[in-house]
Amino acid sequence: MDSIWTQTAQLPRFPPLQSDLKSDVLIIGGGMAGLLCAYQLSQAGVDYALVEADRICGGTTKNTTAKITAQHGLIYHKLIREFGVGRARLYLEANQAALEQYRRLCANIDCDFEEKDAFVYSITSRKKLDQELSALERLGFASEYVETPPLPFHVAGAVKFKRQAQFHPLKFISAIAKDLRIYEHTKVLELGPGKAVTNGGTVSAEKIIVTTHFPLLNKHGGYFLKLYQHRSYVLALTNASNVDGMYLDEDEKGLSFRSCGNLMLLGGGSHRTGKPGGGWKELEAFAQAHYPNAQVTARWAAQDCMTLDGVPYIGPYGKNTSGLYVATGFNKWGMTSSMVAASVLTDLILGRDNPYTSLFSPARTMLRPQLALNGLTSLLGILTPTAPRCPHMGCALKYNAAEHSWDCPCHGSRFGTNGTLIDNPSTDDLQP
Ligand SMILES: Cc1cc2nc3c(=O)[nH]c(=O)nc-3n(C[C@H](O)[C@H](O)[C@H](O)COP(=O)(O)OP(=O)(O)OC[C@H]3O[C@@H](n4cnc5c(N)ncnc54)[C@H](O)[C@@H]3O)c2cc1C
């Protein structure tokens, strides 16, 4: 169940923390977000350290599909409707700038970086595509309508973004992480103002950045209300006629396609963690019907944190948490969002202006329909009288037969059948 990235890259190793440490900035969590923060802070000459509970990129990042694009579904029509043209344009600019940062960095890194066009297709709705095209026109962005993208089934059309990219995320991380100040196998157990207690010593730092995927502090920022987790599944196929470009269904339950050498990565089967969904079975059925000669060479699954309004939370952690910052809620677009987070947080820490700070501020309004859904799901989870229960907030866990795990529908914690914690926000194993 290892991703092709894990199978084909060697990540550098780092020592565990073995004594107390003082640094100006501490970063907690070594996935794409934390590592890019560390990289940008180091480039800016800031004194920093990063602690990672396990190995770097052992979380969601190792199981991504690694498309680097500002095309995050049909998001721009929605952003204009909910935030106005100015903010929608900022979102586009921030993510296009992140793509350009990757382009520059990857020019000197052997990480299979390839320029590709990105497409979002709809199976049924030409109207949705037209709305997105006119939203993009209002933002002054040159997208295109494509009537018959080269997919093995009929679609109503697709919106195309030119010159986006894909890469090998772990080869990229190998190169940028090797000279960073990182402590692996160093888990933060307690977090207080200017101080993090780990299993290897206490780190004192004026500023602390939390990039633990789901933020680890419950009592500030309301992230347990503002986030939920959504799972997706991936198959790597040989002998599937390869697609030139990166494709995604506008429907949350639809499919995703990209090439990787002679492999085709087929993604989908998605569902809220702890709820039923298509999983690998749905992908296998699709592959059998549309690529009868294809063979599955690898399969994996992962989940990402989803926000109330489709925009990540990047900035100060909460109202009363001076010096504490967070980057989370990448809505399955964590490649460009991590780069945006690193730029915004580096500027915040250095006291520099950044045009995107207000757009991504975690303090923005929570009054969105998804808030009620999250609240209701948590209430149902807490009231459901089954065992076992999640140590995070006491919700009833659901058995995930595809992956043999116990999953929490409320906030997305997951546990192996022996009770070992797989995914946060829970910090503890299941009690026997
Ligand atoms: C199936 C799938 C496909 C995707 N495809 C794409 C794509 O094509 N393009 C795109 O842009 N995005 C994609 N994404 C999203 C992207 O992969 C994620 O947003 C991104 O990898 C998240 O990175 P992260 O650093 O926030 O989290 P993670 O990679 O999970 O890193 C968090 C780290 O924090 C560590 N940690 C946790 N708690 C502690 C603690 N107490 N102390 C110390 N360390 C701790 C963990 O061990 C982990 O290593 C996809 C997501 C999924 C699920």
The strand pairing partners of 144, in sequence order, are 160
Q: Where are the alpha helices (DSSP H) in 238-331?
A: 279-290
- Both structure tokens of 179: 């000279």
At 96-129, the pLDDT tens digits run: 999 999 999 999 999 999 999 999 999 999 999 9
What is the 92 CA–ligand 1 centroid distance (Å)?
21
Q: At what angle do helices 32-43 and 169-177 cross, to 10 degrees?
A: 40
Ligand 1 and 149: CB distance under 6 A: no
DSSP 282: H
The number of angstroms, rounded, from the C-alpha of 87 to the middle of its chain's C-alpha atoms is 21
What whole-number distance in Å separates Cα of residue 43 and Cα of residue 227? Answer: 31
Cα torsion angle, 343, 344, 345, 349, sign: positive
Q: What percentage of the chain reaches a pLDDT higher than 90? A: 97
**What's the pLDDT score for residue 243?**
86
Q: How far is the CA of 213 from the centre of ligand 1 (A)?
A: 6
pLDDT, tens digit (0-9, with 9 covering 90-100), for 256-293: 999 999 999 999 999 999 999 999 999 999 999 999 99
pLDDT digits (tens, 9 = 90+) for 371-405: 999 999 999 999 998 879 999 999 999 999 999 99
* pLDDT recorded at residue 173: 98
Determine the average pLDDT of the residues in 160-186: 98
Give the rounded percent of residues in the chain with a pLDDT score beyond 70: 100
What pTM was computed for the model? 0.97
Per residue in 228-251, pLDDT (tens digit) is 999 999 999 999 987 899 999 999
* Ligand 1 centre distance from Cα of residue 66 (Å): 11
Cβ neighbourhood burial of 419 (10 Å; 0-12, 13-18, 19+): middle
Cis bond upstream, residue 409 (ω within 30): no
- For ligand 1, atom 31, name the residue with the nearest CA: 31
**Does residue 333 have its Cβ closer than 6 Å to ligand 1?**
yes
| Average model confidence (pLDDT) across the chain | 96
pLDDT digits (tens, 9 = 90+) for 55-66: 999 999 999 999
- Dihedral (CA of 20, 24, 28, 29) sign: negative
398: Cα within 13 Å, side-chain hemisphere: 19
Residue keyed to tokens 């020592």: 15
- Between the CA of 413 and the centroid of ligand 1 the distance, in Å, is 14
Q: Is 356 in the pocket of ligand 1 (CB under 6 A)?
A: no
Query: Is there an atom of ligand 1 within 6 Å of 326 CB?
Result: no
Q: How far apart are CA 3 and CA 405, in angstroms?
A: 18
pLDDT in tens, 401-431: 999 999 999 999 999 999 999 999 999 999 8
Tell me 111's DSSP state.
Answer: S
Residue whose CA lies nearest to ligand 1 atom number 51: 332
SS3 368: coil
Nearest CA to ligand 1 atom 10: 333
**Ligand 1 centroid distance, CA of 131 (Å):** 31
Contacts of 335 (CB under 8 A, 6+ apart): 32, 64, 66, 67, 68, 69, 98, 102, 169
Cα 105–Cα 100–Cα 26 angle in degrees, nearest 5: 60
211 lines ligand 1 (CB under 6 A): yes
